[in-house]
Structure formats: C-alpha cells, structure tokens
A and B are shown apart, each in its own frame.
Chain A
Amino acid sequence: MGYEILVRPERCISCYACEVACAREHGGISNVRVYPPGIPIFCRQCQGATCAEVCYPGALERRDGEVLLHAEKCTGCELCLLACPFGAIKLEGKRAYKCDLCSHRREEGLLPACVLTCPAGAMNFSCVADFSSRKRKIAGLSWAMGHERRGK
C-alpha cells in the first residue's frame, strides 16, 4: 500500500509551520492551508481524481498512487479548481499549483517538509492501514482510561 500524508486534526495546533515550510520549499507558494482549529487542507492524491479527469490538456495525471501536475501543460483554465472537492488546488500566475508530496525532497530520500516540520506530529507520512491501526490503539486506551473532556 502506498505512503501518503495523513493528518490527525486532533493534534493540529494551527501553528502554520506546514504552510511556512511548504512555501519555502515551493518558491514562495504554499500548497497547504490551515484552518483553525486544526485542519490543514491540501491535495489528497485521490484515487478517482476528478481534477485529472477534467484536465483536458492532460496536465494532471494519476500515476503510482499520486496525482502528478505537469506544469508545462497547464493552460490555467481552472477546471481542476472547480472539480477538486477539497479546494486543494490553486491558481497563481496562470497556472495551477497543488501538493506534489515534495517530489524534489523525496528524490533526495527526504520526507515531505510539512511532515517533518509539524511540531505537534499531526502530519504523518504513512500508509492508511498503519495509520488507522495506531488510531484504534489510542482510541481504545482513551476509552479504557474513561477520560472525558470538560470545560469549554
């Protein structure tokens, strides 16, 4: 099963580290947006990628578990922005931008910047099965401890 960036919103502290890191790694444009309290929004690399389906010049392509963006083919038509259910694609200067899972870093054997930088450990580079197994364990423990939330 492929690795992807999986978020644990209950850990996000809305610190914007991922945004600042992403912008630095991508020439000043961040492909992730954080919405307080605690939801970083970015490309989910969908299996049935509607953005790739509507992209008539073929700039967006679903391959090897990722949605690749071939910027040189992008016409700036914005159809992908309309198609994306998460609003995770944006247009800057007549071309589309989206999360590329830090392909330039992975070529060097490094993890995506947002995953490494997240102080709260809310961004995970993991496969879904491992991720959900870990969540089950935490949920079980929390239940067993009987902790409830009080106050606000």
Chain B
Amino acid sequence: MEVIPTICPYCGAGCPVGLKIVNGKAVGIEYLSEHLLTHGSLCPKGNAVLELLYHPNRLRTPMVREKNGWKEISWDKALDIASERLLEIREKYGADALGFLSSAKATNEENYLFQKMARLLGTNNVDHCARLCHAPSVVGLRKALGSGTMTNPIPDLVNSRCIFILGSNFAENHPIVSRWVLEAREHGAYIIVADPRYTPTAQLANLYLPLRPGTNIALLNGMMAVILREGLANYQFIAQRTKGFEALKSSLENFSVEKAAEITGLNPADILLAARTYARSEASAIVYCMGITQHATGTDNVLACANLALMCGHLGRPGTGLFPLRGQNNVQGASDMGALADVLPGYVSIEDEERRRVLARLWGREDLPQRPGLTVVEMMEAALEGQIKAMFIMGENPVVSDPCAGDTVKALEKLEFLVVQDLFMTETAQMADLVLPVACWAEKSGSYTSTERRVQWSEKAVEPEGVLSDLEIIGLVGKKIGLWDNVPSPEEVLREINVAIPAYGGITPERLKATAEGLFWPCPDPSHPGTPILYHENFLTPDGKASFYPVAHRPPREEPGPEFPFTLTTGRVIVHYNSGAISRNIPSLSRYAPELWVEINPHDAEKLGLTEGEIVSVSSPRGEVKARVRVNERVIPGLIFLPFHFPGVNFLTLKELDPEARIPAFKVSACRLEKGGT
C-alpha cells in the first residue's frame, strides 16, 4: 500500500489529503499530520473525497446532443466537433462572439492554458467564478495595498491578539481556520464576529455584532471615527507607509459611533469596544469573506477593511493583516493565471501594451487582443442579446451559481454552440451541445494555489477511466485548432508559468514536488524561500506606499417594502459546496441536508403562521423557490436565509453589479414568504 499526497478538491484552504492506493485503486484516505496548516485534519467534505472519485454518476464518455437526445461519441470525434464549431463561429461572427468560463477547481496549469487558448483565439472573453466571490478583494486590495490577496498565512492567526471577523462563516466554509482562531483565543486573543446571522463562527466570538445586512461600511467607518477621536490610530505607520490619510480623516469628520449604530442596528457600546480592542491590540487581523464582497458596494466594503487595517498599522507583521478567505481549491490560482476578462497572467492589465506584448512574444505572437473581455455576468447578458454565440465552460455551473439565474438559462438556450467540461451532468451540462467528461483531482497532476497564496503540487493517484484531464482536453482542442503543436504536460505548462508570471518565477515543478508545505508567492526565483507575510517593508504599489480610499455607506438597492417585506441573504453550510454539483451527489454529505430550507426568526414565523418543517414559497421580484421552513434565532427578525447550494435560490437574487469589480449583489435582496405546497 502506498499513500499519495493530493490537495483536497473543495474549498480554498488547500488541505492535503493522502490517498491510500492498493493495486491502482484508492481504498482509503490518510490524514497527513505533518502539514503545518492542518496537522492532518479534514472537514466532512475532505473526509468524503473518495465518494467523489468513484461516484457512479460520473460522466465517462463524451456526448453530443442530437434531435432525439444524447449520443455517446468517441473522444476524437468530440474534440473535432469542439474545435470545428469554435472555428466556424469565430469565422462567422468574429472572435468576440466566443465566451470562455474557466474553472477555479482546475489546476494552475489548466487555467493558464485555457485563458491562453481564449486569447490566442482572439478574445479576452474569459472569466471565472472569482468574479462571483472575491472580485472586490482583487480590485480593492490591489488599489489600496498592491495585491488582491491574503496578506498572512492562516496559521499565523495564532499570533493575533484580536481577530475581527466580518461576513465570514469559516467554521462551516473553511473549517480549518477555526483551529487557528480557537488557538489564538486560547492564547488570549479577543474574537469579534460581525454577521447578520448567528453562525457557528459567531459562536466562537467574545463579541458578536449582529449588524443589518449591507451595513458593513457604516460599522467600519464608525469604528474608524472612534479610533480617530480617541487618538488610537498608528500615526507613525500612517506617516511612513501610507498616503491619502487626510482625505479619509475629513470624510469621517461628520461620522460618529451613534450614526453607525443607527445604520447598523448595533449597540453603540459594542462598536466602541470593537474599535478600541482592534486598535489597541499589538497585533490585530481582519478575516472576511463573501459577506463583505457580494454587495453592490463590494469594492467599497473591501476598501473600508483596508482603511481600518492601515489606520491602525495592522499589516506586514505576524498576527496582523487582511484575510479574504477564498472559496474554491484554486480560485486564487485561476485568478493569478489570468483567467479573468480584464487582466493577463500575473494581473497584468490588458491595457499595458508593453507587458502585453512581452507575453504575446512568449506565445509566439506579435500582440494579443487589446479590448478587455466580458465578465461572467456580462457574458451571459451578451449571450442573451445575441452577441456571444458560443461558450466553452470548463467545470462551472452558472445555471445554479449566477445571480438572477433565470436569465442565464435563457442566455444559454440562445447560444449556437455550448460545450461543457464537467465531472457530472450538471444543470448547465444538460443545456450543452457537447459534454466532455473530465478527470477529477486524484486522476491528474498539477499545482493549486490556496487562499493563503500557498502553491502546492497534487500528484496523480489513480488512472482515469474513460475521461481526459482538463489540461489534455484544452491541449488537444488547441492543437486541432492549430494554436500549438503539442499537448503539454502539467510540468511543461508550469515551466512556462515560471517565465510568464514573475511572482511564480521560482515555483518550479521540481521544487513543488520536493516540499510538503508548498511555496508562498511572490517567489521570484528558484533560490527564493517564498513570502508567507506580505508588506513587511513595502506595499506592492509602484511607490511602495499604501493608499487610503474614503468610502461612505450606501443603502442596498433593494430594501424590504410592503410587497416584499423580508431581507433575503444567502450563504453556505458545512456539508455542501458552492453550486452543489458535487456535494449534492455525495451520500455521506447530502444526507445531512438533502433539500433546500429557509431559516426564519421565531417572531416572523409566528406572524406568518409558519411551523418548522412545512414547505413555503419564497419569492422575490425575479423568481420563486420552494423551501422547507427552519425556525431559529440564527437570523434576526425581518431577515431570512437560504443556502445557495440548491438550484433555484439564485433565481431570486439581484443582478445589480458592483461598479468596479462587477460582482453581483448576491447578499441582499427583498423577498416574501407564502405558505404553499406540500
């Protein structure tokens, strides 16, 4: 028996899982207790990975849609169809009629090659679900600090003396973070959790702040007003390492803790306590997640977090920093690889002609397409309007994950050609013309970048049956189209990444395979040890200084009214994963939560005459979904919660986009509940 180390295919934490292999088959898992992040631990999803590997519903043969249903075809035929149709449509309508959705679950090498294919075909219409979770972090933190990533590794939280958690339910979504927050608490750290819903994460707090949905900026500005008034800011840090402080200061002159309390619905004394504790502690960290980003003010929310950290000088040291927790095993890597409509690999702006041409030459071209592409939601809108004619979707399930998903269905129906690569026949794959079955994480090698910027190698543990890896498919399609001559190995692609992306310069396949802990980018050359903590001396901006960007509270666009009297917020739960395409298929996970439910406060339930367990219809101006009632005090009166792992939930959510990051405002919409159905 042999134990092969792989990286868990679920969330962005990047926990290692050992697969026990006997005669080429995975017979069990083993906990790799040497790993410094996890000490071997795994959440329930990590424990159930073998059920994914050997799932009976996994797709095993390419399929093409014909008049009377699906027809199984050979790989050669399938790849011919994919390449011919893409070329035909490009010929007929131009390259910008093509849209590519890359995958935050695929490896760095697959994402790199996928966006390269799109760009060599002549379009920047390549994006992925980072747009739906942390685009505001990428945009906001890059503006303020120079890099849109987590500043410190997760285990470094143990060095914090105050951990301020906003809009993150890591106890369910990134369970390993709990270990380090609890460890810090036991070393005397003060834990503050701000969340409209009393989540399992809130249970870990010393101070819980149940703010109204969509009022994060008011809370953060209120705290900053306190810190300024009481002289608790780190003026030395502000003077030496930042700019724009005066503008921030004047923007907060007319704001106060009382105003913050009025907007957020919080007790002013609690805001004071949070502000004083965060500012006075020797090392304070901010952990945030989609409760901050999934708003029409997502970028502003992120900037407000950055302002607070900068004002108190809580950056660049152990135990400090900003921790945007990312959702998918490789959403950080897919973004780093440039699978985004507005940037090339390494976050090079498409408008940066010089660096664009450098990359073009590496790819054997004079130049690359110059116009920024369409983002996830914009691509669907363009498809609906008939501008996008063909889409290539690698391992994403927009029919469940897009906001206002009813429009997504219509958009996909209008396409002339849709090819979907996936493990399962997802809701999106069912709408495709061509479905290509892929290898899962254990059936391929490659590197993944965790939310910590930790790049780790995952080794192929078992041989795939009937399926190809995403990398092989992209490689073969690109070869048939004539974009390149050979189908590259993961190692070959990573070596190209070492050249294309300076921060990955020293992250070679050889080094990654030799280390169990991975390497933290930036790691510019093969002798560089990697950079676990960013901004120790300089920020990654051109002048090395960070910037304050004053932001003000704006109420959510959709507020409850007479017709839709409740505020709907959405989120994730422990046993499920994102669109549920995987977790709803895993028996030992889905048995805990087999169907959609809605959480409602006992007061509201009583008013509406709803009882635990009955089916209710939840509707917004955009759609309706049926869910089973769970009455509990996790939600405050007036608020309801739906887990977004189930089809239909996003038929209710708003498509309004953040103006800069183009993320939809998933987290707040108005809705009503009606008794209905069985």
* Whole-angstrom distance between the Cβ of B13 and the nearest chain A Cβ: 9
Q: Any chain B CB within 8 A of the CB of A103?
A: no
Q: Is the interface of B mostly helix, strand, loop or mixed?
A: mixed
Alpha-carbon distance between A143 and B42 when the two chains are bound, in angstroms? 32
Q: Any chain A CB within 8 A of the CB of B247?
A: no
Q: Is the CB of B44 within 8 A of A20?
A: yes
Q: Which residue in chain A gives the minimum CB-CB distance to B30?
A: A110
Contact among A20, A24, A116 for B40, CB-based, below 8 A: A116
Q: Is the CB of B208 within 8 A of A119?
A: no
Mark interface residues in A129-152 (1 if CB within 8 Å of B CB, else 0): 000000000100110110111111
If A13-B178, A147-B190 touch, does A152 touch B43 (CB 8 Å cutoff)?
no
Mark interface residues in B228-271 (1 if CB within 8 Å of A CB, else 0): 00000000000000000000000000000000000000000010
Q: Which residue in chain B gives the minimum CB-CB distance to A135?
A: B186
- Chain A residues, Cβ within 8 Å of B270: 150-151
Q: Any chain B CB within 8 A of the CB of A46?
A: no
Contact among A11, A15, A20, A151 for B207, CB-based, below 8 A: A151
Q: Is the CB of B47 within 8 A of A117?
A: yes
Alpha-carbon distance between A36 and B575 when the two chains are bound, in angstroms? 14
Contact among B178, B203, B205, B273 for A119, CB-based, below 8 A: B178
Q: Is the CB of B47 within 8 A of A145?
A: no
Q: Is the CB of A138 within 8 A of B574?
A: no
* Whole-angstrom distance between the Cβ of B525 and the nearest chain A Cβ: 35
- Chain B residues, Cβ within 8 Å of A119: 38, 41-43, 175-176, 178-179
Q: Any chain B CB within 8 A of the CB of A37?
A: yes
Within 8 A of B (CB), among A14-44: 14-17, 19-21, 23-24, 36-38
Q: Is the CB of A117 within 8 A of B206?
A: no
Within 8 A of A (CB), among B178-230: 178-179, 182-183, 186-188, 190, 193, 198, 200-210
- Chain A residues, Cβ within 8 Å of B182: 11, 120-121
Q: Which residue in chain A gives the minimum CB-CB distance to B574?
A: A15
Q: Is the CB of B200 within 8 A of A37?
A: yes
Alpha-carbon distance between A103 and B216 when the two chains are bound, in angstroms? 50
- Chain A residues, Cβ within 8 Å of B43: 15, 17, 119
Q: Any chain B CB within 8 A of the CB of A81?
A: no
Alpha-carbon distance between A111 and B30 when the two chains are bound, in angstroms? 11
* Whole-angstrom distance between the Cβ of B201 and the nearest chain A Cβ: 8
Contact among B44, B202, B206 for A16, CB-based, below 8 A: B44
* Whole-angstrom distance between the Cβ of B117 and the nearest chain A Cβ: 37
Alpha-carbon distance between A14 and B379 when the two chains are bound, in angstroms? 39
Q: Is the CB of B178 within 8 A of A152?
A: no
Within 8 A of A (CB), among B34-68: 38-44, 46-48, 50
Alpha-carbon distance between A143 and B592 when the two chains are bound, in angstroms? 38
- Chain A residues, Cβ within 8 Å of B202: 151-152
- Chain A residues, Cβ within 8 Å of B589: 20
If A16-B44, A116-B31 touch, does A150 touch B178 (CB 8 Å cutoff)?
no
Number of interface residues of A (CB under 8 A): 34
Within 8 A of A (CB), among B1-59: 28-31, 33, 38-44, 46-48, 50
Q: Is the CB of B175 within 8 A of A20?
A: no
Q: Which residue in chain A gives the minimum CB-CB distance to B203?
A: A37
- Chain B residues, Cβ within 8 Å of A110: 30
Q: Any chain A CB within 8 A of the CB of B171?
A: yes
- Chain A residues, Cβ within 8 Å of B592: 16
- Chain A residues, Cβ within 8 Å of B29: 24
Q: Is the CB of A141 within 8 A of B186?
A: yes
Q: Is the CB of A17 within 8 A of B175?
A: yes
Alpha-carbon distance between A142 and B207 when the two chains are bound, in angstroms? 14
Q: Which residue in chain B gives the minimum CB-CB distance to A14?
A: B200
Q: Any chain B CB within 8 A of the CB of A60?
A: no
Alpha-carbon distance between A151 and B202 when the two chains are bound, in angstroms? 10
Q: Any chain A CB within 8 A of the CB of B172?
A: yes
Alpha-carbon distance between A85 and B31 when the two chains are bound, in angstroms? 32
Q: Is the CB of B171 within 8 A of A15?
A: yes
- Chain B residues, Cβ within 8 Å of A24: 28-29, 47-48, 50, 588
- Chain A residues, Cβ within 8 Å of B172: 13, 15
* Whole-angstrom distance between the Cβ of A71 and the nearest chain B Cβ: 21
Q: Is the CB of A120 within 8 A of B178?
A: yes
Q: Is the CB of B179 within 8 A of A120?
A: yes
Q: Any chain B CB within 8 A of the CB of A118?
A: yes
- Chain B residues, Cβ within 8 Å of A23: 588
Mark interface residues in A80-96 (1 if CB within 8 Å of B CB, else 0): 00000000000000000
Alpha-carbon distance between A19 and B574 when the two chains are bound, in angstroms? 13
What are some 5 contacts across the A-B interface (CB < 8 A)? A13-B200, A13-B203, A19-B44, A113-B31, A117-B42
- Which B residues fall within an 8 A CB radius of A? 28-31, 33, 38-44, 46-48, 50, 171-172, 175-176, 178-179, 182-183, 186-188, 190, 193, 198, 200-210, 270, 273, 574-575, 588-589, 592, 633
Interface pairs A-B: 3 shortest CB-CB: A151-B208, A119-B175, A116-B31
Q: 17 new A-B pairs (CB below 8 Å) besides A13-B204, A151-B193?
A: A13-B171, A13-B175, A13-B201, A15-B43, A16-B44, A17-B42, A20-B44, A24-B29, A111-B33, A117-B40, A119-B42, A119-B176, A121-B41, A150-B273, A151-B202, A151-B210, A152-B633
